[in-house]
Amino acid sequence: MLSKYSFSPSLHLRIGKSRLRAVLCWAFCGMNACAIWLIYTQGYQILTLILVPVMALLLWRLHHDPLQGAWLIWTKGVWTLECKGLQKAIDVGKRSIALPWIIYVSYRDIAMGRDGHIWLYADSLSPQARRRLRVRLTLQQ
């Protein structure tokens, strides 16, 4: 155990559902619908037929949050992401950003070597949990 983490409280954060994220997704969907409508009115009906299913799939994937309900855990200097019963050790990167209304956590899965990210909006965590995560990310950098 590293001595600099011996008295630090552990951090257990459950990633909740965010209404702000949903509003931003729906606004993006509306902008895409307007763009496709403008393409259609300019006489590009074939292009519109090609773009509509592609955009629908991409927007559905954007709206679906696979990490909702997952746990982000920090204990004694070790980060863990627990999602759907699987627990994986992660290394939180220096590109993580903590703003008052949004937190972006960049990480690397230690076992798989894959990069990933977590977007946490202001309403997906309690104010105390959000503050503790922002402090932890600031101290880590």
Clarify whether residues 77 and 110 are in a common domain. yes
- Residues 122, 55: Cα–Cα separation, whole Å: 27
Clarify whether residues 75 and 104 are in a common domain. yes
For the cut 80, the answer to whether the pLDDT of residue 3 exceeds it is: no
What pLDDT was estimated at residue 42? Answer: 95
Clarify whether residues 49 and 75 are in a common domain. no
- Residues 25, 29: Cα–Cα separation, whole Å: 6
* Residue 46's pLDDT band (cuts 50, 70, 90): very high
Clarify whether residues 80 and 95 are in a common domain. yes
Number of domains in the chain: 2
Query: Could you give the angle at which helices 19-41 and 45-63 cross, rounded to 10 degrees?
Result: 180
AA identity, residue 112: M
Clarify whether residues 79 and 121 are in a common domain. yes
Clarify whether residues 12 and 23 are in a common domain. no
Clarify whether residues 89 and 133 are in a common domain. yes
Clarify whether residues 77 and 116 are in a common domain. yes
Clarify whether residues 79 and 130 are in a common domain. yes
Clarify whether residues 11 and 73 are in a common domain. yes
- Residues 5, 11: Cα–Cα separation, whole Å: 12
Clarify whether residues 37 and 100 are in a common domain. no
Clarify whether residues 53 and 73 are in a common domain. no
Mean pLDDT (the chain, rounded) = 86
Q: Which domain holds residue 33?
A: 19-63
* Residue 4's pLDDT band (cuts 50, 70, 90): low
What pLDDT was estimated at residue 1? Answer: 45
- Residues 53, 95: Cα–Cα separation, whole Å: 34
Q: pTM, whole model, 2 decimals?
A: 0.76
What pLDDT was estimated at residue 137? Answer: 86
